[in-house]
Amino acid sequence: MKDKRILLCLCRMGGHEMKYVEEAFSDNWVVPLGPNVDGFEHDLERFLASGPSPTRLDSPEPGFTPTKEKRAVALSAGTAAIHLGLIGCGVEPGDEVMVQSFTFSASANPVRYLGATPVFVDSEPETWNMDPVLLDRAIADRAAKTGRKPKAIVPVCLYGMPAKTDEILAVAKKWEIPVVEDAAEALGSRYRGRCCGSFGRYGALSFNGNKMITTSGGGALVCEDDEAARRIKFLATQARESYPYYQHEEIGYNYRMSNICAGIGRGQMEVLDIHIAHHRHVQQLYREMLGGIKGITLHDNPSPVFDSNFWLCAATLDEGTHIAGENDAYKNCNASTAVSAHTDSKPDAAVEALRIALDSANIEARPLWKPMHLQPVFASSPAYVNGVSESLFRRGICLPAGPWVSDEDVERIVATIASSIRI
């Protein structure tokens, strides 16, 4: 009999999701507002204001300073949250926005929804997130070339790993440009003990089905205060002015979270700490088991300042590491949707061979995100690159993580990797 399929990452129900959903049905709150939406926002706000993680496995950074409680606005998607965050920063057609290149396309797409141009900034090798030194240079160059400053900065906490937040905020302060933190993958990650998503003028969270918690699909925008949250709620509900009749003076969006989805979210908040602890446990198992295997390096917290939730566990094949079958890896493309696996830039054959070996053992693995500056859809966008994200994309792979992955699963994954490596 074939081993069960191990999926990359999938949320698990486990709190009292049905109780909240049933309440919504029985009270006829089947609309995009209501007690679950309010309750979920409140739960998120409390969580975001909480101190250093109780589930951290290595030694925490001392000297945590609590943040003023932020406001959370529950929305239909993390992408919607980024979109509204950019509007909140005043992004308009013709503007430029500095965006981390090494990310999922949803970090950059909302810039284009607004008729603005994403300017991509490469990563530094420690966190794999936006390089603050390159960011500073890129902003100076944009200002010199266009005579205007970019309107916002979008750093990402990729795979849950916090960015070099102090340094990025210092650059943002120097240039007086607001930050929209893309913390879609980073609920429960902390930087200097403080939750990711709570540092910028806005922070975007995602509750898609594969994230730390799910509302089946959904997101939230973390805002600085009540006034900012009121403005975002207004924009998210078709910008309806407060008149007894329908009066519209601005373009609005239908982006509010449904009360049913928020009910799932309230139940999921009850198991968030358990999910975070499990992601960290899985990372710890990879640390122990991959640690003894030559040719592969696990992505990990660079120092105690960083406290990733390890949404996905990611690793890179060392230069010179070979994988059995790599000569044929791209010959027979088995991707279900691709016409061909060949583009100008793709993972090395060794990575594709490892992905195929894992897939044959019924284990889902994926290449790291393909940087945005390599994506045809963003070919006309300026990019400031240093080779880091291109090298990670060539050599990296995401391994299964999350609440469904057992200790035995990690053993099976690591055994498959070990038997595939040819140094």
Ligand X SMILES: Cc1ncc(COP(=O)(O)O)c(C=O)c1O
206 touching ligand X, by CB under 6 A: yes
Give me the residue whose beta carbon is nearest to ligand X: 78
Q: How far apart, in whole angstroms, are the C-alpha atoms of residue 151 and residue 131?
A: 18
> Whose Cβ is closer to ligand X: residue 45's or residue 182's?
182
Amino acid sitting at position 324:
A
Residue with tokens 């230069």: 319
Q: How far apart, in whole angstroms, are the C-alpha atoms of residue 108 and residue 119?
A: 9
Least distance (Å) between residue 261 CB and ligand X: 11
Q: Residues 36, 53, 101, 103: which binds ligand X (CB under 6 A)?
A: 103
104 touching ligand X, by CB under 6 A: yes
> Whose Cβ is closer to ligand X: residue 179's or residue 289's?
179
Binding residue count for ligand X, defined by CB under 6 A: 14
Least distance (Å) between residue 99 CB and ligand X: 10
Least distance (Å) between residue 227 CB and ligand X: 25
Q: How many CB atoms lie within 10 A of CB 203?
A: 29
Q: How far apart, in whole angstroms, are the C-alpha atoms of residue 75 and residue 81?
A: 7
219 touching ligand X, by CB under 6 A: yes
77 touching ligand X, by CB under 6 A: yes
> Whose Cβ is closer to ligand X: residue 152's or residue 353's?
152
Amino acid sitting at position 44:
L
Number of alpha carbons in the 13 Å side-chain half-sphere of residue 302: 12
Least distance (Å) between residue 394 CB and ligand X: 20
Q: How many CB atoms lie within 10 A of CB 5?
A: 11
Query: How do strand 306-307 and strand 296-298 relate by DSSP bridges?
Result: unpaired
> Whose Cβ is closer to ligand X: residue 83's or residue 412's?
83
Q: How far apart, in whole angstroms, are the C-alpha atoms of residue 19 and residue 13?
A: 12
**Residue of 132, 128, 168, 167 lying closest to 388 (CA atoms):** 128
Using the contact rule CB under 6 A, the part of the chain among 76-84, 167-175, 250-258, 264-272 near ligand X is: 76-84
Using the contact rule CB under 6 A, the part of the chain among 88-96, 180-188, 234-242, 314-322 near ligand X is: 180-188
Least distance (Å) between residue 111 CB and ligand X: 12
Total H helices, total E strands in the chain: 12, 17
Least distance (Å) between residue 170 CB and ligand X: 23
**Residue of 229, 251, 230 lying closest to 240 (CA atoms):** 251
Using the contact rule CB under 6 A, the part of the chain among 57-65, 126-134, 182-190, 415-423 near ligand X is: 182-190
Amino acid sitting at position 76:
S
Contact 168, 135 (CB under 8 A): yes
> Whose Cβ is closer to ligand X: residue 96's or residue 185's?
185
Contact 55, 307 (CB under 8 A): no
Helix (H) or strand (E) holding 110: helix 109-113
Least distance (Å) between residue 73 CB and ligand X: 14
Using the contact rule CB under 6 A, the part of the chain among 47-55, 71-79, 138-146, 352-360 near ligand X is: 71-79
184 touching ligand X, by CB under 6 A: yes
**Residue of 188, 121, 122, 125 lying closest to 152 (CA atoms):** 121
**Residue of 182, 235, 186, 208 lying closest to 77 (CA atoms):** 208
Least distance (Å) between residue 314 CB and ligand X: 13
Least distance (Å) between residue 109 CB and ligand X: 9
Q: How far apart, in whole angstroms, are the C-alpha atoms of residue 279 and residue 157?
A: 16
Q: Residues 182, 307, 348, 352: which binds ligand X (CB under 6 A)?
A: 182
> Whose Cβ is closer to ligand X: residue 32's or residue 325's?
32
Q: Residues 15, 32, 39, 78: which binds ligand X (CB under 6 A)?
A: 78
- The site for ligand X (CB under 6 A) is made up of 77-79, 103-104, 106-107, 156, 182, 184-185, 206, 208, 219
